[in-house]
Structure 1
Amino acid sequence: MKKTTLRFATVAAAAVMLLGTGAARADLLKDIREAKKIRIALDTGSPPYGFVNEAMKPVGSDVETAQMLAQDLGVALEIVQTTSPNRIPFLQTGKADIVVASLSVTPEREKVIDFSTPYAQILAVVAGPKGVTLNGFDDLKGKRVATTRGSNNDKVVTTGAKDAQIVRFDDDATLVTAAVSGQANIIATSPAIVSTVMLKSPQKDMVTKFTMSTVPLGIGLRKNEPELKAWINDWVTKNTANGKLVAIYKKYHGS
């Protein structure tokens, strides 16, 4: 009888501990405010969303978005440098509290993380030399197409152009370098990256050939963080209505 009672007490205590742990994990907003700091994963190798300027400071539309979010939350911003393949793992492993890194909202990603109300949109396009005819996925058959590993562009072009030779680079900065150097003449990416390639190498005469998809961008959060998600959704809604998020996007993307 004593052993049974003791065993029951032990199980009950463990259950209480687990419940307590769950409650703590479900209140990341409180933890952030108490720490007076929010860790935001940003990709500073993905212009114009994130890059390093001449003064060696991180800038870009996502960087300014993250800075404004931290300021309005009343905490310091700690930038956690990430790349496209690491954005979700950094979130899941607790290396970052949220992700603001041109993270497109997809059904697959929604299975493992939560998203805020979309704060911007992004086009997934195929770009190539002006004189080459590329009107759709069928025209990519047998061609070498470069993209950024783990990005939505990677997913869309891999699904749509099944007969193309897909070459993957680890981040947008490396993809840009490959395009500028001539390693990649056809790329599946965003219009911003195409503009960056042309800015660095106008003689490439690279133009957008067709749009693969249009998807919303959301701020990534871990599952089961209702308080933080509600605060961010309210923040996005307010700053979309007052034009602040629109102004940031227009500043860096021109539209």
Structure 2
Amino acid sequence: MRSWTNVLLAAALLFTTPLAVRAANALEPPPGLSSRIDAIRHRGVLRVAVLSEFPWLIKNPSVNAAPFRGPAWRLAEEYAHRLGVSIETTPVTSDDKVSILASGAVDLSIAPLLVTPEREAVVDMIPYSASAHCVFGLADNPKVAAAARLDDLDQSAVTIGFIVGTPQGAWLQKRLVRAARDGIPGNLTDLATGEILAHRADVVPIDKFFFRMLQRKVPGLASVPKDCLASQELPVSIAMAVDKGQPAFLDWLRAVADSIKPEVDAEMARTVQAGP
């Protein structure tokens, strides 16, 4: 005679197994779950678009090391490991790091991507990191030198420079409403550094990690706040991307990213500490 314990156990398995199977499939996807994953396994290669950008993805100069380092590469290595394949890299530029996905030339773009509504409309994104912004200007500019925080720049005597139509430009205009404005044309990846050097603007916005590199290339710059890396102004998500229409592949990529988040965060911290 079947015991009530066995009946209840069978009922519990009936309702919990699909969830457990989906979770397991996300980390160890079986054949047939995703045509993209099946194709990657069949060819034995995960094809990724790459663009070196500190601190998320940095090209290694040594031929004896992995071709890249940083949290994006750590995550790409995990994807390849779980699928039992190698990684094939395709260099891209700021202009085609998203559009290459529609061509089918790569499976995944690990070029660091700022998450924006415009990008989310054309690709599916896998967030794995974050950043924030500060502003910078000439260190010998009295307005910049006197400013300890962003609020100190919210005055009519200050001119803010920005790229028209970018999230950074929109944020800065709302953040410093009293400041005079110097908007110039460009795209999402451009910096209005020329406005600073030409003395047309006092400060312009920049990703807090990019400022460290720019400061090395262009002497005489200073940030507000003084420690740009500590800024939490305009926080943004950084992501990888895949072409739309691949829900099972997307779910698996996001599940793996979630499962090794502490490792990805640790790699980010090491990369920032080591520098470009």
Residue 264 of structure 2 aligns with which residue?
Answer: 245
Equivalent-residue separation in structure 1 for 2:198 and 2:55 (angstroms) = 22
What whole-Å deviation, never above 9, does each CA across 1:75-123 have from its counterpart, x for those lacking one? 111112123332211112223211122212222222211122x211121
Equivalent-residue separation in structure 2 for 1:114 and 1:169 (angstroms) = 21
Select 1:125's aligned residue among 123, 131, 134: 134
Cα deviation for residue 236 of structure 1 reads 0.7
Kindly report which structure 2 residues correspond to 1:161-240, keeping only aligned pairs within 5 A, or say none: 161=172, 163-166=181-184, 168=186, 186-200=203-217, 203-209=219-225, 212-240=233-261
Contact 1:157 1:212 in 2 (8 A): no
TM-score (norm 1): 0.68
Gaps of 5+ in 2: 1-31, 174-180, 226-230
Equivalent-residue separation in structure 2 for 1:120 and 1:53 (angstroms) = 20
Residue 22 of structure 2 aligns with which residue?
Answer: none
Larger radius of gyration: 2
Equivalent-residue separation in structure 2 for 1:50 and 1:234 (angstroms) = 21
Residue 159 of structure 1 aligns with which residue?
Answer: 170
Select 1:27's aligned residue among 11, 20, 35: 35
What is the DSSP-based 3-state SS (H/G/I as helix, E as strand, rest coil) of the residue aligned with 1:65? helix
What is the DSSP-based 3-state SS (H/G/I as helix, E as strand, rest coil) of the residue aligned with 1:83? coil
Q: Cα RMSD over matched residues?
A: 3.6
Cα deviation for residue 144 of structure 1 reads 4.1
Q: 1:90 to 1:139 in 2, by over 3 A?
A: farther
Equivalent-residue separation in structure 2 for 1:67 and 1:182 (angstroms) = 41
What whole-Å deviation, never above 9, does each CA across 1:20-40 have from its counterpart, x for those lacking one? xxxx9x621111111111111
Structure having the larger proportion of residues in helix: 1
- The alignment covers a number of residue pairs equal to 216
Residue 178 of structure 2 aligns with which residue?
Answer: none
Percent identical among aligned pairs is 20
Cα deviation for residue 168 of structure 1 reads 4.1
- Opposite residue 109 of structure 1, the aligned amino acid is R
Residue 74 of structure 2 aligns with which residue?
Answer: 64
